[in-house]
Amino acid sequence: MSGAPPDTALDQWLDRATLGVSPRWAASIRAELTAHFEDTTADLLRQGVPSGVARQQALAALGDPQAVARGFKDVHHDRRHYLMAALACVLLLVENFDLPQQFLMPDWADGSAPSRIFYAVDHALAQLLALYVIIVAGRLAAWRLNCDVTTPMKIVLGGLGIGLTGILILDLGLAPSASALTLLDAPDLVEGVGFLLRDAGMLLSGGGLVLLGAWVLLTPSSLAAKSIAAAAALEGIVPIWYVVVLYLSARHPLELYALLVLNTLFLLSALGLAFIRAWDPYRRHHLPAPTT
């Protein structure tokens, strides 16, 4: 070993040890760990260990930064995200059963300007809420499992964005008498583009969710994480199934009913998970579990 490691070695270790930790705590944790590192280094220097070696040994003694990050994230996780995600799930459940329309009972004609604006806003809000729930789910996977879910997350979020563009084109542009359901029977170019974007978005976001679920299932993880991942993968199959059914045959009440059931199950499980993470009922009752 030769020479002192640059300060960046400690900085990099600290970056990894505080990865995903609430910013409210990160600075104080860095200061505490830096002080520990300096104390160890000072002790080693007093024992006659050369400076560079002392710093390397002090850094090695701190251990695996990922294990430290996991510990801190367990203690200092930001419950507000999970409460917000729980609220988003409740709103999506409300939307899932078309409750806004049923309660408001709009008296405008289908295809009228207020009706188009209502559905455009309704669909946009639902897509944005879904986007938020997916972001929290992705954060949870990255946070809890320390696995990189960036690629499937990008696919899901990209798909939701593209799908939303298509939905807005259709909501704001579709003629009142139109009976078109897919790109194949779109009466004009604008609606064709709308259908194309909506369906491509649904396929992408569905595929991304399946990939995200599979990603977590293949990572060494707890049974709870695996069940949620399986639910996400199942939920990803829903939009794919929806598009396939739409293109291969006419829409059928049975398919719509199954979609409703699957969506509801997924949202209820996500709601339960968000509440458990926000409330965290187990932590007060036991010390950290033995790992040896």
Partner 1 sequence: MNIKGNLPLLILHVLSTGPRHGYTILKDIKQGSEGVLGVAEGTLYPILHDLEQRGLIEAFEETVGGRLRRCYRLTGAGRRELARQTDEWKRYSQAVNLLLGSAS
Tell me which amino acid residue 121 is. V
- Give the footprint of partner 1 on residues 244-283 (CB under 8 A): 283
Instruction: Give the list of residues 6+ apart from residue 13 with CB closer than 8 angstroms, or none.
Output: 59, 62, 65
How near is the Cβ of 14 to partner 1 at its closest, in Å? 10
- Based on the shown chain and the rule CB under 8 A, indicate whether residue 27 belongs to the binding site for partner 1: no
Binder to partner 1 among 64, 98, 185, 188 (CB under 8 A)?
64
Return the number of the residue (249 or 292) whose C-beta is nearest partner 1.
292
Return the number of the residue (63 or 106) whose C-beta is nearest partner 1.
63
Return the number of the residue (102 or 292) whose C-beta is nearest partner 1.
292
| Candidate ranges 57-65, 179-187, 214-222, 255-263; the one touching partner 1 (CB under 8 A) | 57-65
- Based on the shown chain and the rule CB under 8 A, indicate whether residue 40 belongs to the binding site for partner 1: yes
| Candidate ranges 69-77, 115-123, 171-179, 216-224; the one touching partner 1 (CB under 8 A) | 69-77
| Candidate ranges 71-79, 131-139, 207-215, 268-276; the one touching partner 1 (CB under 8 A) | 71-79
- Based on the shown chain and the rule CB under 8 A, indicate whether residue 160 belongs to the binding site for partner 1: no
Return the number of the residue (248 or 287) whose C-beta is nearest partner 1.
287
How near is the Cβ of 285 to partner 1 at its closest, in Å? 10
Binder to partner 1 among 19, 26, 55, 72 (CB under 8 A)?
72
List contacts with partner 1 (CB under 8 A): 17, 25, 28-29, 31-33, 35-36, 38-40, 61-65, 67-68, 70-72, 74-76, 283-284, 287-292
